[in-house]
Amino acid sequence: MKARALTIVRYVLLAVVVGFAIAFFARQWGDITEVIAAIPAGLAVASFAIMLLGMLANVLSWVTLLNGLGHVVPLPRGAQVMLVGQLGKYVPGSVWAYVMQMELGRQYGIARARVLVTALYAAGIGVVASLVLGVSIVPGLAAEQPAFAWLYVLLPVGLVFLHPRVMTWLSNLALKIFRRPPLPHRVRFTTILAAVGWSVLSYLLYGVHLQLLVGELAPATPLSVVMLGAALSLGFTASLIAFVLPSGVGVREFVVIAVLVTMIPLSDASALALLSRAMFTAGDLLLAGVAVAVVLVMRRRLRARDEATSEYGDLAMAESAGAGSGGSGGSGEGEHGSSDDREREPDVLK
């Protein structure tokens, strides 16, 4: 009964989050129709497709981290947890994205603490990747807006936190607080480098996405693509501190416009920043839907994998209870958990 109630709550929360995302998209639609009409259809479609590839690269960065932290999941399952969970950022107070990812991970046998550590480190890697690209535009931003000078401090701090020893220690500390087993091995350099590489590629693809929207308004060069990718990446980084706003709305656009106005008039820069935001919202909804559809097609195979690698011994019973069998069909024990473990877990993990 408890498992059924938790499942209902998860779906209600998901419906609320999707509703916020759709409402946000609908509110912006009137402002972007004129901009869309002025952009050749081929360029708009290509820009959207490149943006989706960038979002997929970001998914690969997230799943690489999750697997590197000791719980290996198939890509479709990891993509589902990441993409569906991140829709929570559209609810005011972006902490909901982390909550949803933790709940989705728990539903499929991944410890909440491990998902939280993955999400936080993914954000940190995004910050480092954005600053790696942003070295060319941070001085200009800081000169115009001194508040952005704090970006200089983030890179060395981020690099320290991404050191394998530090990353492993902090991850094990979080797992210990949640009474989960420590990582099976130290976080590897290859895991960190792969995650950073996917993140940098993601931002470069975002730069191509934005350059295609700019079109003939400004000539495309390798430097302009890097600058636009850096603008979007630093916008994402700046929006992390604006967690009370849905998906950091307004903060990202401010950074993007600040870079675009060095290439095109302010009115065009503002319109394109808004159009890009709308495309990202549509992309979030589309990819989350695709991830769910793929998981439904592979449901039986993925469920067997979930049960075999579950960090919670009650996963099989929860799945069985959710299907209406009264909780009697599960083995009651996963690879990393047992009934005794569950009795010792704090309420936050149950």
Mean pLDDT split into 10-residue runs, the chain, 350 residues: 61 63 63 74 93 97 91 91 87 74 88 85 85 70 61 73 84 79 82 93 95 86 86 78 52 81 83 88 93 92 86 55 40 39 36
CA neighbours closer than 13 Å in the CB half-sphere of residue 324: 0
pLDDT of 336 reads 43
pLDDT of 329 reads 39
Could you tell me the pTM of the whole model? 0.76
How buried is residue 231: exposed, middle or buried, by Cβ count under 10 Å (0-12/13-18/19+)? buried
Cβ pair 202, 234 in contact under 8 A? no
Helix residue ranges, H only, 88-188: 95-107, 112-134, 138-144, 151-161, 164-177
pLDDT of 62 reads 95
pLDDT of 222 reads 83
pLDDT of 322 reads 41
